[in-house]
Structure 1
Amino acid sequence: MANATTSLPLFEKIPRKNTIQRGFDIIIFFLLLLLLVYRLYFLNHYGFIWILAFICESWFTFTWVLVISTKWTLVDYNTYPDRLLQRVSEVELPSVDMFVTTADPVLEPPIITVNTVLSLLAVDYPSHKLACYVSDDGCSPLTYYSLVEASKFAKLWVPFCNKYNVQVKAPFRYFSGDDFTKSSGSDTSSNFQQEWKRMKDEYEQLCVKIEDAVQNQNIVPCDLTAFSEIDSKNHPTILKVIWENKEGLLDGLPGLVYLSREKRPNHSHRYKAGAMNVLTRVSGLMTNAPYMLNVDCDMYANNPKIVLHAMCLLLGSNSEKEIAFVQFSNAFYDGLKDDPCGNQLVVMLEYMACGFSRLQGFFYGGTGCFHRRKVIYGLQQDNIDSVNEEILKRVGSSKELMKSVAHALKGKTNSPDHLSNSIDTAYQVAGCGYEHGTSWGRQLGWLYGSTTEDISLG
Structure 2
Amino acid sequence: MVMENKTSLPLYEKIWVKHTFSRVMDSFTLLLLFLLLAYRVSSYNNHNFSCFVAFLCESWFTITWITTMSTKWTPAHTKTFLDRLLLRVSDSELPALDMFVTTADPVLEPPIITVNTVLSLLALDYPANKLACYVSDDGCSTLTFYALVEAAKFAEIWVPFCKKYNVQCRAPFRYFCDEAMANNNDLPQFKHDWLKMKEEYEQLSSKIENAAQKSIPCQLMGEFAVFSQTQARNHPTIIRVIRENKGISDVMPHIIYISREKRPKQPHHHKAGAMNVLTRVSGLMTNAPFMLNLDCDMYVNNSKIVLHALCILLDSKGEKEVAFAQCPQRFYDAVKDDAYGNQLVALPMYIGSGFAGLQGIIYAGTNCFHRRKVMYGLSPPNEIQNAKKGQGFTNGTFLSEKETMQKFGTSKGFVESATHILEGITSDLHKSLDLEAASKVASCDYEYNTAWGKQVGWLYGSTSEDVLTGLKFHTKGWRSELCSPDPIAFMGCSPQDNLGQMAQHKRWSTGLLDIFLSKHCPIFGTLFGKLQFRECLSYIWITNWALRSIPEICYALLPAYCIITNSSFLPNKVSIIQITYYKNCCLSSKHLICM
Query: Fold-level match, TM-score > 0.5?
Result: yes
Distance verdict in 2 for CA 1:54–1:331, change over 3 Å? same
Q: Is 1:391 aligned to 2:404, yes or no? A: yes
Q: What is the deviation of 1:175?
A: 0.7
CA contact (8 A) 1:75 1:355 kept: yes
Matches within 5 A, 1:400-439: 400-413=413-426, 415=428, 419-420=432-433, 422-439=434-451
2:174 partner letter: R
2:251 partner letter: G
Matches within 5 A, 1:322-341: 322-341=321-340
1:314 partner letter: L
Provide the C-alpha distance between the structure 2 equivalents of 1:439 and 1:325, rounded to a whole number of angstroms: 21
Q: What is the deviation of 1:222?
A: 6.1
Q: What is the deviation of 1:264?
A: 1.1
Partner of 1:454: 466
Larger radius of gyration: 2
Q: What is the deviation of 1:437?
A: 1.3
Q: Is 1:163 aligned to 2:179, yes or no? A: no
Provide the C-alpha distance between the structure 2 equivalents of 1:388 and 1:28, rounded to a whole number of angstroms: 58
Greater mean deviation of Cα atoms: 345-354 or 131-140: 345-354
TM-score (norm 2): 0.73
Q: Is 1:302 aligned to 2:301, yes or no? A: yes
Provide the C-alpha distance between the structure 2 equivalents of 1:418 and 1:63, rounded to a whole number of angstroms: 51
| Residues 98-157 of structure 1: CA deviation (Å, up to 9, x unaligned) | 000111111111001000101111111111100000010111111001000000111111
Q: Which residue of 208, 212, 215 corresponds with 2:213?
A: 215
Identity of counterpart residues, as a percentage? 56
Q: Is 1:51 aligned to 2:52, yes or no? A: yes
Provide the C-alpha distance between the structure 1 equivalents of 2:89 and 2:319, rounded to a whole number of angstroms: 21
| Residues 307-333 of structure 1: CA deviation (Å, up to 9, x unaligned) | 111100000142683311111110111
CA contact (8 A) 1:131 1:416 kept: no
Matches within 5 A, 1:193-232: 193-216=191-214, 217-219=216-218, 223-232=223-232
Provide the C-alpha distance between the structure 2 equivalents of 1:430 and 1:157, rounded to a whole number of angstroms: 31
CA contact (8 A) 1:72 1:355 kept: yes
Greater mean deviation of Cα atoms: 95-104 or 217-226: 217-226
TM-score (norm 1): 0.95
Structure 2 portions without partners, runs of 5+: 392-399, 471-595
Task: Give 3-state SS (helix, strand or coil) of 1:224's partner.
Answer: helix
Distance verdict in 2 for CA 1:174–1:419, change over 3 Å? farther
Q: What is the deviation of 1:450?
A: 1.8
Provide the C-alpha distance between the structure 2 equivalents of 1:256 and 1:242, rounded to a whole number of angstroms: 5
Q: What is the deviation of 1:184?
A: 4.3
Provide the C-alpha distance between the structure 1 equivalents of 2:182 and 2:177, rounded to a whole number of angstroms: 12
| Residues 330-375 of structure 1: CA deviation (Å, up to 9, x unaligned) | 0111122332322122232111121111110011111111111111
| Residues 388-430 of structure 1: CA deviation (Å, up to 9, x unaligned) | 222111111111111111111122247565553x212111111
Distance verdict in 2 for CA 1:84–1:98, change over 3 Å? same
Provide the C-alpha distance between the structure 2 equivalents of 1:194 and 1:320, rounded to a whole number of angstroms: 45
Task: Give 3-state SS (helix, strand or coil) of 1:397's partner.
Answer: coil
Provide the C-alpha distance between the structure 1 equivalents of 2:378 and 2:60, rounded to a whole number of angstroms: 41
Provide the C-alpha distance between the structure 2 equivalents of 1:100 and 1:440, rounded to a whole number of angstroms: 20
CA contact (8 A) 1:110 1:146 kept: yes
Matches within 5 A, 1:241-320: 241-249=241-249, 252-318=251-317
2:129 partner letter: H
Distance verdict in 2 for CA 1:298–1:72, change over 3 Å? same
CA contact (8 A) 1:233 1:265 kept: yes
CA contact (8 A) 1:255 1:417 kept: no
2:445 partner letter: G
Greater mean deviation of Cα atoms: 211-220 or 325-334: 211-220
Provide the C-alpha distance between the structure 2 equivalents of 1:409 and 1:254, rounded to a whole number of angstroms: 25
| Residues 40-92 of structure 1: CA deviation (Å, up to 9, x unaligned) | 34333332211221121122012111111211111011111222112110100
Root mean square deviation of aligned Cα: 1.8
Distance verdict in 2 for CA 1:413–1:318, change over 3 Å? closer
CA contact (8 A) 1:129 1:416 kept: no
Distance verdict in 2 for CA 1:88–1:325, change over 3 Å? same
Provide the C-alpha distance between the structure 2 equivalents of 1:200 and 1:320, rounded to a whole number of angstroms: 42
Provide the C-alpha distance between the structure 2 equivalents of 1:414 and 1:147, rounded to a whole number of angstroms: 30
Greater mean deviation of Cα atoms: 336-345 or 112-121: 336-345
Distance verdict in 2 for CA 1:211–1:430, change over 3 Å? same
CA contact (8 A) 2:260 2:274 kept: yes
Task: Give 3-state SS (helix, strand or coil) of 1:365's partner.
Answer: coil
Provide the C-alpha distance between the structure 1 equivalents of 2:122 and 2:193, rounded to a whole number of angstroms: 19
Q: What is the deviation of 1:8?
A: 2.4
Structure number with greater CO (CA < 8 Å, separation at least 6) is 1
1:235 partner letter: H
| Residues 223-280 of structure 1: CA deviation (Å, up to 9, x unaligned) | 211101211111111110000111332x611110001111111211111111111111
Greater mean deviation of Cα atoms: 21-30 or 334-343: 334-343
Q: Is 1:106 aligned to 2:107, yes or no? A: yes
CA contact (8 A) 2:313 2:319 kept: no
